[in-house]
Structure 1
Amino acid sequence: MVSAAAAVFGDGGLDASIDEVAARAGVGKATIYRSFPTKEHLVAAVACERLQGIARLAEQALRAPDAWAAFGELLGAMAQTQATDRILGGALASACELPELSAARQSVLAAIERVMHRAQEQGAMRPDATVQEVRVMFAGVAHVLNQADEHDAAVWRRYAGLIADGLRSVGQ
């Protein structure tokens, strides 16, 4: 059901209906509601899967010898995902505070923060940069690009690069 929801919400955005998800999954609407009490719970399950993927990318970035390059690649991958995945952007922008989604968000932020600390330790990133600042900048870009219905990954990657450039340590 989660993969069917991912496909439906990915195509139609979060305005797609549970009826569409049920049809794609080949089940009745009641089957969906037995597993997910509300549409919000289903969206959160899909978003959690996506966030776990980003957390895995961040964990891979921690193993890269050049933390700055790994941070830039991570932001680029996040931008690519946001550009092409209407679910993630909508779920992250929503006010949904289901515990599982909140935990997944925190896991991603913690993983990004570890990558940032490595880049700071290597002297490549501003020592005063915080993960919260990255979150705010990225969310601002995502909000504007989503409002403009911009889904060109190259555009999103450019903005991710500009965010990274703003975090580069002076003299780098």
Structure 2
Amino acid sequence: MSANKPLRLDARRNRDALVIAAREVFTERGLDAPLKEIAARAGVAIGTLYNRFPDRDDLIAAAVEDRIEAGGRIAEDALALDDPWESFVYLVEKVCELQASDRLLNELALRAAPSPAIAAQREHGHAVMREIITRAQEAGVLRADWALEDIAFITWSHTRVVEQTVRVAPDAWRRNLALMLDGLRAAAAHPLPVPPITEEQLNQALPVDRR
């Protein structure tokens, strides 16, 4: 039994090194960065990477797990605020702030969940968001025709704004978000031309990495 312990320790060290390297490389080059570069930075063979993480999504999931948990905490903190509008604004601002500060999350906003565990965390976060949205609408401060799925329009546009401005004006996204939030106030609402997209359509719009 004792003879196996070093192997288990080596396996743990290799996994940790790969996760750290993945965070670094994905942050520098995006989620489509070559996996062989991640293996090289971790100091292991590419075969070791595939042994620990059979496909790219497995590695992405390990690299962003703690970030997804941070997003869930934001939703819980927002729900704890008493003012319905401030609760909604806090939720949206903090999620966008998290995306703006982390390229991994910013790119992940345009992808399907890379693992069932992260999909479950997203679902929990969405349930809390729905509570926040419903409370704001019932208070008459958030336009009544806005749906949870519409938050994708904020995060998707925010992703592109961050990508284009991060090197020249890293806080420009705050202006863009403030303009969008003003348009979501109930007092500013005008009839929308089409209904919101469904959850199924939203999931279909997110690309899935098949490599």
**TM-score band w.r.t. shorter chain:** 0.7 to 0.9
1:93-172 matches, cutoff 5 A: 93-95=110-112, 98-142=115-159, 144-145=160-161, 149-151=164-166, 152-170=169-187
Name the stretch that deviates more: 20-29 or 10-19. 20-29
Report the residue type matching 1:145 in the other structure.
V
Report the residue type matching 2:49 in the other structure.
I
Q: Work out whether residues 58 and 111 of structure 1, in 8 Å CA contact, stay in contact via their aligned partners in 2.
A: yes
The alpha-carbon deviation at position 5 of structure 1 amounts to 1.6
The alpha-carbon deviation at position 31 of structure 1 amounts to 3.1
The alpha-carbon deviation at position 94 of structure 1 amounts to 2.8
1:79 aligns with 2:96: yes
1:90 aligns with 2:100: no
Match of 1:70 in 2: 87
Partners of 2:119 and 2:21 in 1: CA distance: 23
Report the residue type matching 1:107 in the other structure.
H
Report the residue type matching 1:149 in the other structure.
Q
Partners of 1:9 and 1:24 in 2: CA distance: 12
Partners of 1:48 and 1:163 in 2: CA distance: 29
> What 5-or-longer segments of structure 1 have no aligned partner?
none
Match of 2:74 in 1: 57
TM-score, normalised by the number of residues in structure 2: 0.67
Regions of 4+ moved over 6 Å: none
Partners of 1:3 and 1:109 in 2: CA distance: 28
Match of 1:4 in 2: 21
Partners of 2:130 and 2:63 in 1: CA distance: 23
Bigger Cα Rg: 2
The percentage of aligned residue pairs carrying the same residue is 34
Structure 1 residues 96 and 76: CA distance shift in structure 2, 3 A: closer
SS state of the match for residue 120, structure 2?
helix
CA RMSD of aligned residues (A): 2.5
> What 5-or-longer segments of structure 2 have no aligned partner?
1-15, 189-211
